[in-house]
C-alpha cells in the first residue's frame, strides 16, 4: 500500500511517501524552521533522492503540505502519476486526550474529537488538524488515519498520571498526564532491547527523545510507567521554545505583574521560553551550541540548563524503575549531538552510565543504532535513530486493511 505520512510539528513538516509492502520510501520532504526567515522545504523523490529546495518563507504548515501535493501531482520526477495513487494517509497526532487510546481511522466523528484535543497540544495538534482538513479536501476518497503520540503512555499507573489536585479536575476536565512522543519512545525501547540482545519484556529502559520538543520515559518491561510530558507537551524538560516544568505560581505572578491575558501567557511559555528564551538567540540547538562555543554567555547558560534538566529527569526515572538496563538517546539532538550526550553523561557516571567517548563520536556513525557506553558500564547507553514515519505508515496500512 502507498501511504503518505504527514508529521506536522510545531515548526517542522516531515512527510514521506512509503510503499509499505516492501518498506520502500518513494518521497521524503522536510520543512524546518517554518515561520522563520528563509524557511525552506527539501523534497526528494526515489530512486536517487536528489534534493530539491523549495522556498516556503511566509507559509504555514498546511501551506507547505499543499505545495508538496502540487509537486507530487506535477513534478516530472514524482514517483506517482496522480494523487489518486496515494492509497492512505497516516497523520502523526501529538495529543489524543482520553478520546483515543489507539490509532484510528478519521471519520467525521473522530475529526470532531480531534479538534477537541487541540487545547492539549496547542503547538502541534492545530497544524496537524489543519493538514487533515486540507487532505480531506484534496484527497476526498483516500482513507486517513491518526496515529497518536499519547497511545504508548496509556499503561501508566494512576500514581504517575494523576496530579495532586482536587479529583474533580480529573473527573470533570480530564486533567491528567497523557505524555507524548509515544511512537518514538516505543520504537527506541524496542531497538534498544534488540541492541542489548534481550526481549523487551525483560529489560528496564529510560528513553530520551531530545528534539525540538523533548521528553523522557521510564519503560519497564516494555510498558511506559512514567514520562516527563504531562497534560500538555509543555511539562518536563526545557525545550526549543517551551519552558518545561516551572513553579506554577510563576504563571499567575507574571500575569498579574504584566496584566497579560491567558493567551499571551500561553504564548510566552510555549513559544518564547526554553532554549530560545534563555539564549535570546535561537531555539535550534545547533545555533546555540555554536554560539556557546564562540563565547556567548547566554547560549552557554541555555546549554547548561538544558543538560542539567535532562540529567535530573534521567535520575528521577532511575529512582522510579525497579531496574535500569540502558538509557536510550533519540531524535534530533539525542541522535546527532555527540557534544550534548557527552555533557549529559559526564554527570551520570556515578549512577553507572559510563560513556565511551570514542564510540560517542558521530563521525561516520549517523543513522546507525549502537551502544556508546564502555563495555563494562553497568547501565548501557544506546543511540537509536528514530523512524517515526515508517512506523506510522505500517500502522496506517494495518488499519486500512
Ligand atoms: P522535532 O521535535 O521538531 O521533530 P527533531 O527531532 O528534528 O525535531 O530535532 C530538532 C533539534 O535537533 C533542533 O534543536 C536541532 O538543532 C537539533 N539537532 C539536529 N542535528 C543536530 C546536531 N548535529 N547537533 C546538535 N543539535 C542538532
Residue-wise burial string across 98-132, b where 16 or more C-beta atoms lie within 10 A, e elsewhere:
ebbeebbebeeebeebbeebbebbbbbbbbbbbbb
**pLDDT tens figures, 71-97:** 999 999 999 999 999 999 999 998 898
* Tens of pLDDT, residues 129-143: 999 999 999 999 999
Tens-digit pLDDT profile for residues 267-321: 999 999 999 999 999 999 999 999 999 999 999 999 999 999 999 999 999 999 9
Q: 31 CA to middle of ligand 1, Å?
A: 13
Confidence of residue 355 (pLDDT cuts 50, 70, 90): very high
Q: Which three cell numbers stand for residue 221?
A: 518491561
149 is catalytic: yes
Helix (H) / strand (E) element for 275: namely helix 274-279
Exposure b/e, 148-182, CB count within 10 A at least 16 = b: bbbbbbbbbeeebbeeeeeeeebeeeebbbbbbbb
Ligand 1 binding pocket includes 370 (Cβ within 6 Å): no
Query: Is 143 in contact with 91 (CB distance < 8 Å)?
Result: no
Q: Which three cell numbers stand for residue 344?
A: 549529559
Catalytic pick among 129, 149, 284, 387: 149
What is the rounded distance in angstroms from the CA atom of residue 252 to the CA atom of residue 260?
10
Distance 214 CA to ligand 1 centre (A): 10
Compute the distance between CA of residue 286 and CA of residue 210 in angstroms, rounded to an integer. Answer: 13
Q: Specify whether the CB–CB gap between 8 and 131 falls below 8 A.
A: yes
Q: How confident is the model at residue 364 (pLDDT cuts 50, 70, 90)?
A: low
Q: Which atom of ligand 1 lies at the shortest distance from residue 10's CA? A: 3
The rounded Å distance from CA 284 to ligand 1 centre is: 7
Choose which residue among 286, 364, 366, 367 to substitute to test ligand 1 binding: the one with the highest number of ligand atoms within 8 A of its C-beta: 286
Percent of the chain with pLDDT over 90: 88
For ligand 1, atom 27, which residue shows the shortest CA distance?
333
What would the grid cell of residue 316 be?
528521577
Q: Is 332 exposed, middle or buried (0-12, 13-18, 19+ CB in 10 A)?
A: buried
DSSP element (H, E) containing 380: strand 380-383
Q: How far is the CA of 75 from the centre of ligand 1 (A)?
A: 29
282, HSE (Cβ side, Cα atoms, 13 Å) = 16
Q: How many Å apart are CA 168 and CA 160, to the nearest integer?
A: 17
Question: Helices 182-196 & 388-400, crossing angle to 10 degrees?
Answer: 110
Amino acid at each position: 500500500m502507498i501511504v503518505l505520512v504527514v508529521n506536522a510539528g510545531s515548526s517542522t513538516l516531515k512527510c514521506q511517501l512509503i510503499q509499505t509492502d516492501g518498506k520502500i520510501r518513494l518521497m521524503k520532504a522536510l520543512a524546518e524552521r517554518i515561520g522563520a526567515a528563509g524557511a525552506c522545504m527539501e523534497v526528494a523523490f526515489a530512486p536517487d533522492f536528489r534534493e530539491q529546495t523549495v522556498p516556503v518563507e511566509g507559509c504555514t504548515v498546511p501551506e507547505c503540505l499543499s505545495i508538496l501535493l502540487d509537486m507530487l501531482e506535477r513534478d516530472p520526477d514524482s514517483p506517482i502519476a496522480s494523487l489518486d495513487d496515494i492509497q492512505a494517509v497516516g497523520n502523526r497526532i501529538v495529543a489524543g486526550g482520553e478520546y483515543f487510546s489507539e490509532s484510528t481511522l478519521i471519520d467525521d466523528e473522530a475529526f470532531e474529537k480531534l479538534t477537541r484535543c487541540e487545547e492539549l497540544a496547542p503547538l502541534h495538534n492545530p497544524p496537524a488538524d489543519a493538514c487533515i482538513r486540507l487532505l480531506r479536501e484534496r484527497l476526498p476518497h483516500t482513507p486517513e488515519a491518526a496515529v497518536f503520540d499519547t497511545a504508548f503512555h496509556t499503561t501508566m499507573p494512576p500514581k504517575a498520571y494523576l496530579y495532586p489536585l482536587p479529583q474533580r479536575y480529573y473527573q470533570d476536565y480530564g486533567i491528567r498526564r497523557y505524555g507524548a512522543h509515544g511512537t518514538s519512545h516505543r520504537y527506541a525501547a524496542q531497538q534498544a532491547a534488540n541492541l542489548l540482545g534481550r526481549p523487551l519484556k525483560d529489560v528496564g529502559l529510560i528513553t530520551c527523545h531530545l528534539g525540538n520538543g523533548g521528553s523522557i520515559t521510564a519503560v519497564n518491561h516494555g510498558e511506559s510507567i512514567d514520562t516527563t510530558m504531562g497534560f500538555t507537551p509543555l511539562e518536563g524538560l526545557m525545550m526549543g521554545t517551551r519552558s518545561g516544568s516551572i513553579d506554577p505560581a510563576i504563571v499567575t505572578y507574571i500575569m498579574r505583574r504584566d496584566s497579560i491575558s491567558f493567551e499571551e501567557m500561553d504564548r510566552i511559555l510555549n513559544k518564547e521560553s526554553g532554549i530560545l528564551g534563555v539564549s535570546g538567540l535561537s531555539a535550534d540547538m545547533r545555533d546555540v551550541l555554536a554560539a556557546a562555543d564562540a563565547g556567548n554567555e547566554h547560549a552557554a547558560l541555555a546549554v547548561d540548563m538544558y543538560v542539567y534538566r535532562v540529567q535530573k529527569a534521567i535520575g528521577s526515572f532511575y529512582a522510579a524503575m525497579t531496574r535500569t538496563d540502558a538509557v536510550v538517546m533519540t531524535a534530533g539532538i539525542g541522535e546527532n549531538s555527540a557534544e550534548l550526550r557527552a555533557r549529559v553523561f559526564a554527570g551520570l557516571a556515578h549512577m553507572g552510565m559510563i560513556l565511551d567517548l570514542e564510540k560517542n563520536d558521530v563521525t561516520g556513525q549517523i543513522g546507525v543504532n549502537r551502544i556508546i557506553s564502555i563495555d563494562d558500564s553497568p547501565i548501557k547507553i544506546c543511540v537509536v535513530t528514530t523512524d517515526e514515519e515508517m512506523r506510522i505508515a505500517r500502522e496506517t496500512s494495518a488499519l486500512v486493511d
